[in-house]
Structure 1
Amino acid sequence: MRSLLRWVFLFAVTLSVSSCKTKLHPTVHANQFYQIDASLAADSSIIQYYTPYKEKLQQEMSRVLGYSDLHLTKSREAESLAGNFFVDALLWKAKQLEPDVQASFATKGGIRADLKAGNVTVGDIFEMMPFENVLSIVTLSGKDMLRWADYMAQTGGQPAAGIELEIQDGKVTMFRVQGREVDANATYKLVTYDYLANGGDYVTFLDKPLSRTDYPQRIRETLMEYVTDLTKQGKHIQAQLDGRVKFIK
């Protein structure tokens, strides 16, 4: 902390000198440091100012959206309950925006937390997806779809919906979209989010989309809508492992 304050002070002095036409040569006669820790007394006026906002935020974060019958865990496996829930929600929303969307894609690293069994709150969804990423719908050539399958094979599988993918000895042995084998000469619509569409997580197969549309819909808003819609239908979250991405030994 002392080292940091010293550097801040020196930076401020340098900045003030460089901004003047007249060159100054400041001399520090004495150093004085202030310890910033729990020993500092709380400022009651500041606490009074932010408390109403804090209470409102806590109330919103505690708002129940729905119910999960299972603990949706995330993992490094080819499939996970949290991953399937996540991409099923993406595909559900994308079909509302563009009905011909066929598949969805995310990465394991983008899912930041499990979803525990029981009541699902706004705060739970924020923990699962805390970022400001938005929905991206891309149109890809069949060749780029095959590049996607290769990416999945190289990375041990990633969350995806609308597909069936089998990988053996590091090679793709079967790849279907909506029940049909991928045709290298066809085109496909895929939903993901802007971070991946921009090449995050070493994604390269999205670098030459035939078209791309970014929607203002945030991913966590999509997850919230998905859970709320299930609740309105009298349903619980019931994600399951269904073999959509499979590594054959």
Structure 2
Amino acid sequence: MKSIQKAAYILGLITLVSCNKNAYRNSEISGKRIPVDQQIKEDTAITNFIQPYKKHINATLDSILAFNPTSLSKTDGILNTAIGNLMADIVMEQASPVFKNRTGEDINMVLLNHGGIRSTLNKGNITARSAYALMPFENEIVVAELKGSRIQEMLRYLEDAGTPHPVSGIKIQVDNNYKLTMAKIDGREIDSNRNYFVATSDYLQQGGDNMNFFKNPVTLYNLDYKLRNAIIDYFEKVDTLDAKIDDRYIMID
């Protein structure tokens, strides 16, 4: 009998709820900004807990990897900069053996973006922290196999941009109006019937900075190699950086 009464009670509740047609809405939502500043008292227990890890991380980031004989900034050139050339050449040097081992193919060129250079490299000792400042993002190096026609799209993009996007493995000349007068990869004119292997970042390959010519490549290879890690690896193996503005992307009068 008790079970029947219990069932009837539950049924009554269900009926009551189902018959309630009222729609409930929030009448007001309020919030306030809580600043994270010196007014918030330090939690000594947390500070003491993280201190050993903080000390270890700082020691790693501040370890000297190489020496830079001159300050480098992305504003130092018109169509190519020493720091941009350095970054593109690093990708070429560090990614090429990885790609070769996996595919048997060679990387033909590198294209990065000017906006992706997030810091200067000051004169003096270079550390892992310098690399994190230069490339704070988690971008991976990828290699896109592109048809020659897509390379032509890339060149038109660079014409319109008129910006020193870092390149390596390609030589480009433009006139005073930034119109292309010459472009060569591996010392040869671009062949529309040939495919080229172009190393870049996963961000750009997905259309970042409107580089849509990277989308839907013939084949896409992810090297599982962060751009920042490639920079650190390069810094570790050289004693002194050698970065300069050259003739890889220039304007001809």
List alignment gaps of at least 5 residues for structure 2: 1-21, 101-105
Relative to 1, partners in 2 of residues 1:223 and 1:27: Cα closer, same or farther, differing over 3 Å?
A: closer
In the alignment, the residues of structure 2 paired with residue 26 and residue 154 of structure 1 have an alpha-carbon distance, to the nearest angstrom, of 50
Could you tell me which residue of structure 1 aligns to residue 193 of structure 2? 185
* TM-score of the superposed pair, with normalisation by structure 2: 0.81
Aligned to 1:74: 74
- Alpha carbons 2:132, 2:228 under 8 Å: kept: yes
Residues 27/175 of structure 1: CA separation in 2 closer, same or farther (3 Å cut):
closer
Q: Does 1:170 align with 2:178?
A: yes
Which residue of the partner structure matches residue 151 of structure 1? 157
Aligned pair 1:223/2:231, yes or no?
yes
Q: Which has the larger radius of gyration?
A: 2
Q: Equivalent residue for 2:245?
A: 241
Task: Tell me if structure 2 keeps the 8 A contact 1:64–1:122.
Answer: yes
Structure 1 residues 33 and 198: CA distance shift in structure 2, 3 A: closer
Which segments of 5 or more consecutive residues in structure 1 lack a partner in the other structure?
1-21
Instruction: Classify 1:41/1:81 alpha carbon distance in 2 versus 1 (closer, same or farther; 3 Å).
Output: same
Indicate the residue corresponding to 1:56 in structure 2: 56
TM-score (norm: length of structure 1): 0.82
Deviation at 1:84, TM superposition (A): 0.6
1:38-89 C-alpha deviation (Å, 9 max, x unpaired): 2333221111111111111111110111111221211273111110110000
1:1-249 to 2 correspondence within 5 Å? 37-75=37-75, 77-99=78-100, 100-157=106-163, 158-168=165-175, 169-231=177-239, 236-249=240-253
**Offset, 1:37:** 3.9
Output the CA distance in 1 between the equivalents of 2:242 and 2:111. 19
Structure 2 Cα separation of the partners of residues 187 and 36 of structure 1:
53
Distance 2:145 2:213 in 1: 12
Change (3 A) 1:33 1:248: closer
> C-alpha distance in 1, partners of 2:32/2:143?
56
What percentage of residue pairs aligned between the two structures are identical?
26
Runs of 4+ in structure 1 over 3 Å off? 22-28, 31-37
Cα distance in 2 for partners of 1:136, 1:113 equals: 22
Q: Name the SS for the 1:77 alignment partner.
A: coil
Q: Partner of 2:212: helix, strand, or coil? A: coil
Return the alpha-carbon distance in structure 2 between the equivalents of residues 246 and 61 of structure 1: 36
Query: What CA distance in whole angstroms lies between the structure 1 residues aligned with 2:171 and 2:195?
Result: 17
Return closer, same or farther for 1:202/1:41 CA change in 2, 3 Å cut-off.
same
Q: 1:222 to 1:23 in 2, by over 3 A?
A: same
Q: Quick one: which amino acid aligns to residue 138 of structure 1?
A: A
Residue type matched to 1:226 in 2?
Y
**SS of residue paired to 1:87:** helix
Change in CA separation of 1:49 and 1:243 when aligned onto 2, cut-off 3 Å: same
Q: Measure, in 1, the Cα distance between the counterparts of 2:129 and 2:66.
A: 12
RMSD (Å), alpha carbons:
2.5
How many residues get paired? 222
State the partner residue of 1:12.
none
Task: Please give the per-residue CA displacement for 1:112-168, whole angstroms capped at 9, x wherever unaligned.
Answer: 001112111000000000000001011111111111111111111311001110112
CA drift of 1:215 comes to 1.7
Instruction: Determine the C-alpha separation between the residues in 1 that align with 2:213 and 2:234.
Output: 28
8 A contact 2:68–2:125 mirrored in 1? yes
